[in-house]
């Protein structure tokens, strides 16, 4: 028997050589935006989406044989979708999904952005999460690391438009940011939540902080979040030293006990009225997903027409202007192919179960670091600046004319 030993120095040299070859390959593929920082851990690997053709065939047959009921009073087009999606929209969108939508075209576009998976150790040597993320890495030594956090029913796809803008505007040598866009656990190609315990937003925050550290950004980064991601971003800022600042485009909270009420503008009053109306007529989904997540997710995962109808309603109702149908169907297809609608609802019991409070209401996650808030008039719950100021060190507040959410899809 022949035995051999490999020194640590030799092992490190081999890893460096492998990383150099991978970097050269990624540089050729992505124009230099896919080169991992030299200090990034070796638990990070390139990733490419390639949905098996058998899955596309199954989607087509499932859609084709899905039963669409007849027109009802509630689904008449004249109701203007105030009681849910119209029968016409469901019929036409199913036909488009069957006959015109091209997943392979969308998949090719998604794969034009560097993607990776990272094995993130959380708490113990046996508790690892595989986290999928898209990224643009800068060659600019002064680049600021940013982590963008999506919500529901969105995905990492929300941020591809802004990544396109940055890629078109800056070469890697001038890009002012390292852009990291992870899929939350339970979404897309990231690990599912554990079966033996509840996964909470503070767990996700810890996992993502570890991800940023593993990428070599432990000395400091900024977190941006909307929807569910806004809660994760807030917790990252409140609990993790490496997160130096936070920007939010949703700060869902109740009216604080003490604030400067005289500072509320007419636009902010309109926003509060919108939030009140949404709570009255549009928020039932959140209570359902908080109290019966297993039931609704099982139903949605069983049939693509059901998934399209349920998620499609949100993409129709929660935006300033209509999204392209291909954008909507790409996100819905991602949920279908990865079967992650059943693993994506875990944030809702924590936030929306009666008696629980939002992370933005919780004093233990008061932000003592700089944080900013972008205010959009068509956000489902745009809260006033004076309210947000009670939740942390608000150093930036900007009122925008349009683009609400899923916000980044509309950039």
CA angle (158 as vertex; 171, 204 as ends), nearest 5:
105
For residue 13, the model assigns a pLDDT of 44
| 85-109 tens-digit pLDDT | 999 999 999 999 999 999 999 999 9
Q: Per the structure block, which two tokens stand in for 320?
A: 């300033």
For residue 263, the model assigns a pLDDT of 95
Question: What domains can you pick out in the chain, each with its CATH number?
Answer: 25-411 (3.40.50.1820)
Mean pLDDT of 386-393: 98
Rounded Cα distance, 169 and 352, in Å: 40
345 pLDDT above the threshold of 90: yes
| 11-33 tens-digit pLDDT | 344 455 655 566 566 666 799 99
For residue 1, the model assigns a pLDDT of 35
For residue 409, the model assigns a pLDDT of 45
Neighbours of 263 (CB within 10 A): 11
Q: Is the dihedral of CA 286, 287, 290, 292 positive or negative?
A: negative
| 205-225 tens-digit pLDDT | 999 999 999 999 999 999 999
**What is the rounded average pLDDT for all residues in the chain?**
92
Q: Which of 13, 23, 29 shows the shortest CA–CA distance to 45? A: 23
Rounded Cα distance, 410 and 390, in Å: 30
Mean pLDDT of 177-192: 99
For residue 123, the model assigns a pLDDT of 75
Q: Which of 193, 269, 243, 226 shows the shortest CA–CA distance to 373? A: 226
Q: Report which secondary-structure segment, H or E, holds 209.
A: helix 201-214
132 pLDDT above the threshold of 60: yes
44-46 vs 144-149, strand pairing mode: unpaired
**Residue 61, CB half-sphere, CA atoms under 13 Å: how many?**
6
For residue 298, the model assigns a pLDDT of 98
For residue 9, the model assigns a pLDDT of 42
| 233-279 tens-digit pLDDT | 999 999 999 999 999 999 999 999 999 999 999 999 999 999 999 99
C-beta separation of 348 from 227 below 8 A? no
For residue 124, the model assigns a pLDDT of 61
Q: Give the residue, 11 or 115, on which the prediction is more confident.
A: 115
Mean pLDDT of 157-185: 98
For residue 320, the model assigns a pLDDT of 83
Location of structure tokens 């150790």: 121
Mean pLDDT of 119-146: 92
| 295-330 tens-digit pLDDT | 999 999 999 999 999 999 999 999 888 999 999 999
Q: Report which secondary-structure segment, H or E, holds 177.
A: strand 177-182
Question: Percent of the chain at pLDDT above 90?
Answer: 85
Location of structure tokens 């047959």: 61
For residue 7, the model assigns a pLDDT of 36
For residue 15, the model assigns a pLDDT of 52
| 35-90 tens-digit pLDDT | 999 999 889 999 999 999 999 999 999 999 999 999 999 999 888 888 999 999 99
């Amino acid at each position: 028997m022949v035995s051999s030993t490999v020194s640590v120095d030799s092992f490190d040299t081999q890893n460096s050589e492998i990383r150099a070859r991978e970097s050269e390959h990624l540089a050729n593929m992505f124009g230099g935006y896919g080169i991992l920082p030299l200090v990034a851990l070796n638990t990070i690997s390139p990733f490419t989406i390639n949905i098996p053709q058998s899955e596309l065939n199954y989607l087509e047959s499932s859609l084709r044989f899905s039963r669409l009921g007849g027109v009802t009073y509630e689904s008449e087009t004249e109701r203007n979708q105030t009681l849910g999606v119209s029968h016409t929209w469901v019929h036409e969108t199913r036909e488009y999904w069957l006959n015109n939508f091209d997943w392979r075209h969308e998949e090719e576009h998604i794969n034009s952005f560097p993607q990776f998976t990272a094995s993130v150790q959380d708490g113990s040597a046996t508790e690892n999460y595989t986290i999928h993320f898209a990224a643009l890495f800068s060659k600019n030594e002064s680049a600021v690391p940013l982590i963008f956090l999506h919500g529901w029913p969105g995905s990492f796809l929300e941020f591809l438009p802004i990544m396109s803008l940055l890629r078109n505007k800056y070469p890697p040598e001038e890009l002012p940011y390292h852009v990291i866009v992870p899929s939350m656990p339970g979404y897309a190609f990231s690990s599912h939540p554990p079966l033996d315990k509840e996964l909470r937003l503070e767990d996700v925050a810890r996992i993502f902080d570890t991800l940023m550290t593993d990428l070599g950004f432990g000395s400091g980064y900024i977190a941006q979040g909307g929807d569910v991601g806004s809660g994760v971003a807030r917790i990252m800022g409140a609990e993790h030293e490496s997160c130096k600042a936070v920007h939010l485009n949703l700060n869902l909270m109740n009216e604080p006990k003490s604030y400067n009420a005289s500072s509320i503008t007419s636009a902010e009053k309109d926003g509060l009225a919108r939030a009140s109306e949404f709570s009255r007529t549009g928020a039932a989904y959140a209570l359902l997903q908080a109290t019966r997540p297993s039931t609704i997710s099982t139903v949605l995962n069983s049939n693509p027409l059901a998934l399209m109808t349920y998620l499609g309603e949100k993409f129709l109702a929660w935006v300033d202007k209509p999204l392209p149908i291909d954008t909507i169907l790409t996100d819905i297809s991602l949920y279908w192919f990865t079967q992650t609608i059943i693993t994506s609802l875990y944030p809702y019991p924590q936030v929306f179960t009666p008696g629980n409070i939002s992370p933005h209401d919780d004093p233990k996650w008061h932000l003592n670091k700089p944080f900013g808030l972008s205010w959009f008039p068509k956000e489902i719950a745009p809260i006033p600046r004076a309210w947000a100021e009670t939740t942390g060190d608000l150093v930036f507040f900007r009122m925008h004319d349009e683009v609400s959410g899923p916000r980044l899809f509309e950039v």
